[in-house]
Structure 1
Amino acid sequence: MKKRYSSDERLKQKLQQLPQVHDSRSKDEIYQNVMKHKEKTPRKPQAGKWVFPTLSAAAAVLLLLVLLPNMSSTLEQFSSNEESVPQEQQQAGESSAEDTQETEENESNNNESDSSEVIEREENDVKISEEEEEPAEETETNEEPPVEVGEKTPVYENYVTALTKDDIEQGEKAVTIPLQDLETSVIVPITFLIKESQESLEAFEELTEVYTGEDVGLDPSALQDIDWKSGEEEETPLEAEFEEEMPEASSSESEMIVKSLEESMRYLGENEVVLEHNGAEGVELGNYGVLDHYTIEQENRGYYVYTTNEDMSFLVSGNAANISTKNEDGELFTFFETLEQMKTAGENSSVEASIPQDMTIEDVKEENDLARVVFSGDSHIPENENGRLMIEAVLFAAADFGFERVSFEGENLGEAEGYSLNDPIDVPVAPNQIEQ
């Protein structure tokens, strides 16, 4: 037994010294080959003796005992190699395919990215330019914020100032005629200085016929085709003779005639006029019907700013600008209420406010022929032409209420061009002085 054991040991050692066999076939392939070989091999007849099969079986068992550990490790290594190699090859193949596809896609993506980068750069340039422009728009918005209607009064650089007593030199006197703007139906009184020796009514008639108002952006007077004459006796009304060739007046023309009479008679010192045609009393005036005489009622008017297409600004009455002078109950506004109304002209009006809205009038005090207009401490008279315009608008409004002087009172009023606010100011003689 001992000898046999040593022989087995040597055999085992010899077998271990054999080089490792690597079979590239899979386990399934080896199994299939064994099964095929088994089926093809014919069965041999049994040997007459049992020794050989027994020895063969013992040798096979011994061989298996020797080979199984190595074969197991070999098969495990082969299996791992088999699993890793195809996977690596597959991964390599897939990587190669993916690389090819990625290369193509990268080229396509590069082209697309190039075009997209161009588009994106252009869009970014547009966005950047828009972002650069937006601050400018915001700056402009900050510099010139939107102003609601009535919050800001325009600057009237070409305001035609009123005629004051100081403007009239010795040997002169004033005459005022009514011009019109046919587009807006606003009546604008224009004042001229004439020689004191000239008869006022004759000068009035001549100027209404001659002066067209074109140089200041106005239309001729609605009264230019009328002959005027004073009453034959004292205290008799003024007579207005309409010319024979004058066609029948329309409603709008009649309205302009009546307003022109109202805006001019008071500067002539008249309050009633007789209307005649062909030597007989009575003239057809549209909605007014046949008028034989017309009485001008003294009432508060309020004064506003009218600017022509020649950029000339004039003071006009609320009555001449179709602005109501009465409240909802049909009562005339008080002097205080009239001044408040002069701070806004209303929507769709052809005129502008003459008193800025930030000028707060706290009180109006009446002392005989003096009106004291008291402003709040934060009210400040504009330093440009608007300041003089506002002062004169208040003075004319006060004159309609019978006041001869106005004092402007406030802690921070400042100064107005042409006027000293330290003392009461006399009301002007007439509005809108123009040199002939």
Structure 2
Amino acid sequence: MKRSSKWDEKTIENQLKKLPKIEDRQTKEALFEKIQEKIHENEMIQRKKKSWFIPTIATASVVFLLMLLIPPFFNKQELTTDFPEIHDEAEIMMEMNGRTDEETGIDTTEKTFEIDLANELDEQGYVGAVTPYDEDRFNDQLVTIAVVTHLPSGEMIVPITLMVNEKSLSERFLAAKETFWGEQWGIGSFPPIPINTVTIENDGIVNIDIPENSLESLSSLESEMYRLVLKETFSQQKYSEIHFTSDGKPGVAWGPYGPLNEMNLQEPNRGYYVFHSNTNHKFLVRGNKEAQENISLAEVIEKMKQSEIELGYRASIRDDVTINNIEEDGDTAIITFTEGSVTEDTIDNLMMLEAIMFAARDFGHSYVQFKGINIDRIGPYQVKELVPIPNYINFIQ
């Protein structure tokens, strides 16, 4: 078709020049930040949508295939509804726990795990922390629990953070411990500790009521594993002690340990290392080696450069990274790198910074100031500014 000469390119250009001029008075930096926030917000919305979207497409496809395959039989026999009952793995898991979706309070989008891991996790598999931006938005849905992962060398305790639609932290914990299954990420589940109720007091004390005599026959290994899981779960959430009752009576019979009334959650800091699961996902975990009583933050960070392969984890700080100085100023830890040590926004650098931040948090700090880094951003963090330390580790979305 021939274009009309009335609207040739010159005429269109002249008409466009007559339009009013529009200017954006924002600085480039402010505009960039708004764009980043909008992209991040859209990603979180898409993440919460996608777990029902994919199963819906799959269901529609199955219905379409049945419509193609079944009609030839309509004239020969009557269609019956007495099909064998089929359960998928998620339904079987829920039945084993004897709890429905409504009882557990786990959102279907968080429970079924029909999540496209290629989109949810980095291509190198690092399960990162909940950023302060997301924490502000979803804090009333987040909970951290510890799960047990069985390795040839022993047991690895891995803390993870989940989103659960329950009002209180104790309700979110009880729901998450019963329904999370970590096989898809190469990790285990919360051990079968029978718990009646959990109440949390303002002074940092967690009260756990357990059915009477339910832990009396634990083996030594089970007793230690249950103890470590509870310590890791609640110490990650900054509580100081657990007080136990048995059907309302003080204390609990804890296997070969005998009567146990309380559990101290404060212990020497062991630093954070990288655990590689058998599905190639990476998690931050606390070190397993016994720590010194009066170890300093600088000493802990120095140890984080050493892998402990026989214990199941690797160094979180690369060999080629040099830290010149570590200072502690009130609620802020100041970490100074040698110029040129950190020059790229990579997964290894993100794991290192988050490991350092969680180590600093265990010493009571709320912020980290990084110095000597040559770029502005690593992962979600503006590293030339004062960085708030995340409260939630290993976020499985």
What is the CA deviation profile of residues 121-175 of structure 1, one whole-angstrom value per residue up to 9, with x for unaligned ones?
Answer: xxxxxxxxxxxxxxxxxxxxxxxxxxxxxxxxxx991000101220135464221
Return the alpha-carbon distance in structure 1 between the equivalents of residues 191 and 137 of structure 2.
32
Which residue of structure 2 aligns with residue 367 of structure 1? 329
Return the alpha-carbon distance in structure 2 between the equivalents of residues 316 and 356 of structure 1.
16
Query: Equivalent of 1:165, from 112, 118, 132?
Result: 132
1:417 and 2:387 correspond: no
1:206-217 matches, cutoff 5 A = 206-217=175-186
The answer to whether the Cα contact below 8 Å between 1:271 and 1:297 also exists between their aligned partners in 2 is yes
The answer to whether the Cα contact below 8 Å between 1:175 and 1:267 also exists between their aligned partners in 2 is no
- The secondary structure found in structure 1 opposite 2:370 is strand
The answer to whether the Cα contact below 8 Å between 1:208 and 1:224 also exists between their aligned partners in 2 is no
1:193 and 2:163 correspond: yes
The answer to whether the Cα contact below 8 Å between 2:333 and 2:369 also exists between their aligned partners in 1 is yes
Q: Per-residue deviation at 1:189? A: 0.9
Number of equivalent positions: 272
Gaps of 5+ in 2: 1-121
Decide whether aligned partners of structure 1 residues 212 and 238 sit closer, same or farther in structure 2, where only a CA change above 3 A counts.
Answer: same
What is the CA deviation profile of residues 53-73 of structure 1, one whole-angstrom value per residue up to 9, with x for unaligned ones?
Answer: xxxxxxxxxxxxxxxxxxxxx
The answer to whether the Cα contact below 8 Å between 1:360 and 1:376 also exists between their aligned partners in 2 is yes
More helix by proportion, 1 or 2? Answer: 1
Return the alpha-carbon distance in structure 1 between the equivalents of residues 204 and 331 of structure 2.
29
The answer to whether the Cα contact below 8 Å between 2:268 and 2:295 also exists between their aligned partners in 1 is no
The answer to whether the Cα contact below 8 Å between 1:175 and 1:200 also exists between their aligned partners in 2 is yes
What one-letter code is carried by the residue in structure 2 that aligns with 1:225? P
What one-letter code is carried by the residue in structure 2 that aligns with 1:175? V
TM norm structure 2: 0.62
- The secondary structure found in structure 1 opposite 2:181 is coil
1:317 and 2:286 correspond: yes
Query: Equivalent of 1:221, from 183, 190, 194?
Result: 190
1:304 and 2:281 correspond: no
Which residue of structure 1 aligns with residue 143 of structure 2? 175
Q: Per-residue deviation at 1:369? A: 1.3
The answer to whether the Cα contact below 8 Å between 1:272 and 1:293 also exists between their aligned partners in 2 is yes
Which residue of structure 1 aligns with residue 171 of structure 2? 202
Return the alpha-carbon distance in structure 1 between the equivalents of residues 170 and 257 of structure 2.
25
Gaps of 5+ in 1: 1-154
Query: Equivalent of 2:210, from 226, 242, 248?
Result: 242
- The secondary structure found in structure 2 opposite 1:431 is coil
TM norm structure 1: 0.57
Which residue of structure 2 aligns with residue 402 of structure 1? 364
1:342 and 2:308 correspond: no
The answer to whether the Cα contact below 8 Å between 1:160 and 1:312 also exists between their aligned partners in 2 is yes
The answer to whether the Cα contact below 8 Å between 1:302 and 1:325 also exists between their aligned partners in 2 is no
Q: Per-residue deviation at 1:277? A: 3.2
1:428 and 2:396 correspond: no
- The secondary structure found in structure 1 opposite 2:147 is strand
What one-letter code is carried by the residue in structure 2 that aligns with 1:168? E
Which residue of structure 2 aligns with residue 149 of structure 1? none
Q: Per-residue deviation at 1:279? A: 4.2
RMSD over aligned Cα atoms: 2.6
What one-letter code is carried by the residue in structure 2 that aligns with 1:227? N
- The secondary structure found in structure 1 opposite 2:222 is helix
Return the alpha-carbon distance in structure 1 between the equivalents of residues 181 and 215 of structure 2.
18
Q: Per-residue deviation at 1:429? A: 1.6
Decide whether aligned partners of structure 1 residues 343 and 239 sit closer, same or farther in structure 2, where only a CA change above 3 A counts.
Answer: same
Q: Per-residue deviation at 1:303? A: 0.4
Decide whether aligned partners of structure 1 residues 182 and 227 sit closer, same or farther in structure 2, where only a CA change above 3 A counts.
Answer: farther
- The secondary structure found in structure 2 opposite 1:314 is strand
Q: Per-residue deviation at 1:241? A: 2.7
1:333 and 2:295 correspond: yes
- The secondary structure found in structure 2 opposite 1:306 is strand
The answer to whether the Cα contact below 8 Å between 1:161 and 1:431 also exists between their aligned partners in 2 is yes
Query: Equivalent of 2:234, from 257, 265, 268?
Result: 265
Which residue of structure 2 aligns with residue 117 of structure 1? none
Q: Per-residue deviation at 1:237? A: 4.0
Decide whether aligned partners of structure 1 residues 239 and 205 sit closer, same or farther in structure 2, where only a CA change above 3 A counts.
Answer: same
Q: Per-residue deviation at 1:239? A: 2.5
